[in-house]
Structure 1
């Protein structure tokens, strides 16, 4: 997709048309189900650790290692998909990941902290790269750019639902049965969702577009534009990581435990609603312009937190930056698509995911150290958003490569 938008206003499209297109509902539903372990496993791991007699600090460490291992392994798995296709990556990783999640409650207590840590890290490394894989499938599944635009926004917006449903489901299973059961169900859902996607014809047939002379050598993936884009997205991740710790601090400050889940849920609801609005029509301006506008809105949405609002006002406030999150991420994927050489798209999407994940880890770590300072921790999400906007304004990724990206997409 070109970074330059058409001047002619395009007619509105419906999500019914998107979901009614062949394979779309299956791919989207399977991907969301297969990605539930990413939202369920951290909660289930902490609860299992406590049930096994461990400390909450050790449970938090295991969660951090799980997320970090998952993020760091994304580019490797993306590169493998670009070389060998999706099936040979999705199926083995899904089987290993499910087996490891089941092995944790079976072998973990017997082997002590060292074995539990090894299993959790291995589970993170084998997390299935469904998100990057789905983004690579959209051009072949939906050749119409308008439908693809709506599908990408719907795909991005519904990600927030994972982090509402996933933790609640894991906690409910652990409470009703046991944390071990929660881990088993987590592994089963991940495997089932992956099988739905991996056995779908588009995923089985998918191969990267062949490299052409205009794309340059494969090593040109790390262009200045892409590096600037990925660096900017660490600020988005930083804001997300800071949000989670700020929510816990708000819950502690006001004596309302539900706030720790309610505030992220309100943010995710805003992301879902923002995705529905953004994907319902084609917006004017280039992708770069939309990316800057979305980043400015994302920053603006966090600023009211500097007034240290109460629980009700804070819950309403975080809906706004959530709505702009989908715009930023969807535009970032479009820009990545246009700036990436043919045959390297899955790997590029994986680096995008890694960038946000690294920023999120940094935001979580710094916020945890500053959790006792109310104003400082409330300002950290805005600081991450400001970093994103500043890098994008300085670099404006895409202007130099728009023509090349358009030429490649038109001849793909």
Structure 2
């Protein structure tokens, strides 16, 4: 979800093999042009040794850590699980509304303004929420909406900066894998910190801490030299922005189903815990999936691609879909735990390849907004997958089906026989 040997200065900037057609329409062969793999594999250590990378990565983790902390704090602070669940879901879905808008502002006015302004608004809302509590009704819901929509666009910004910070395409590829891996850290470490702080102090202390981390991490990110030096790419005004190429829209459509696999997994884990009468499965399966994702990111950077990009992406998606098969059927509790590690292992590599394809397809000067739309698509899928899995009694067939549709769309997107799908509908 590697780049040309000469990486563009900005994410989404055109190269000789990536020149938008008149009117901003992407040529239908955009995914097929990237046929050369990186000259060599690059490790996380070599990425982190690049000037400014440690600061950017550390600040990005701190700024995004509240995304893993706040839903748990809301659940623990609310007067009932039902109310807490609704409010936590509200916080999880609202960044999907705010990220594209803040990303567009970053592409047009620079990264620092939306990152700092978004952090200030989100931190203020979380700080006030820590005072009034999650059980305050409408005020709590309003504060949660503000906190979610104002989440600073760090994810899109850091991926926009990688081609500027990294020396070559192989390092850009590894940097994207590093960031995808660090996102898994956020969703593994965040809940652990939230529960630990809630036990030691209170859920409201978690909300106050999340407010502080949002502000500290985002300001440190905006103060990084790479952010200060970055300038927007001039481009023709287009209200569709990164959504102009049909290939981009199909890619984002596929990501709804990728998000659906993760959303369905959480429900399937609860159902498995009830089916096997082992409560620990409810937490062990999502945790195992996320931890396997960390390992997958580490292994991915050591893999030297031998397939052209337009084959690498659908092959990874197909492998991810097949990896869910062992979970379908009547298997033991321990087998379920071990089986969920395989799709988890493939999740971060697939997400990384998607991110690279997104950068290829985004018209010049729209890279940050494009990542915002990626976040939106995945979050919509998470919500839909959770809802469908609930109606499907928590069957593992739901994530399997969702992953299969994702693989089919990505396969059709990249095949020359489906080239008409990549056109803008004008022919």
Provide the TM-score with structure 1 as the length reference: 0.89
Pick one of 46, 49, 54 that aligns with 1:17. Answer: 46
Provide the TM-score with structure 2 as the length reference: 0.86
Counterpart in 2 of 1:359?
A: 381
Counterpart in 1 of 2:320?
A: 298
Q: Give 1:287 shift.
A: 2.0
Q: Deviations over 1:158-209 (max 9, x none)?
A: 2212111111110111112111111111222222211221110111221233
User: 1:77 aligned to 2:102?
Assistant: yes
Q: Show structure 2 runs of 5+ residues with no match.
A: 5-30, 421-427
Q: Show structure 1 runs of 5+ residues with no match.
A: 402-412
Alignment of structure 1 residues 12-411 onto 2, 5 Å:
12-49=41-78, 54-108=79-133, 112-211=136-235, 219=240, 221=242, 222-371=244-393, 377-396=395-414
CA distance in 1, matches of 2:326, 2:415: 29
Q: Give 1:286 shift.
A: 2.2
Residue pair 1:306, 1:379 contacting (<8 A) in 2 also: yes
CA distance in 1, matches of 2:359, 2:46: 23
Does the C-alpha gap of structure 1 residues 245 and 149 become closer, same or farther in structure 2, counting only changes over 3 Å? same
Residue pair 2:34, 2:310 contacting (<8 A) in 1 also: no
Q: Deviations over 1:305-348 (max 9, x none)?
A: 11233221111111111121112211111111111111111111
SS in 1 for 2:273: helix
Residue pair 2:161, 2:226 contacting (<8 A) in 1 also: yes
CA distance in 2, matches of 1:46, 1:178: 12
Larger helix fraction of residues? 1
Residue pair 1:11, 1:281 contacting (<8 A) in 2 also: no
Off by >6 Å, runs of 4+ in structure 1: 397-401
SS in 1 for 2:214: helix
CA distance in 2, matches of 1:205, 1:358: 34
Residue pair 2:66, 2:214 contacting (<8 A) in 1 also: yes
CA distance in 2, matches of 1:7, 1:392: 19
**Equivalenced residues, count:** 389
Residue pair 1:149, 1:282 contacting (<8 A) in 2 also: no
Q: Deviations over 1:231-251 (max 9, x none)?
A: 011110000100111112222
Residue pair 2:316, 2:350 contacting (<8 A) in 1 also: yes
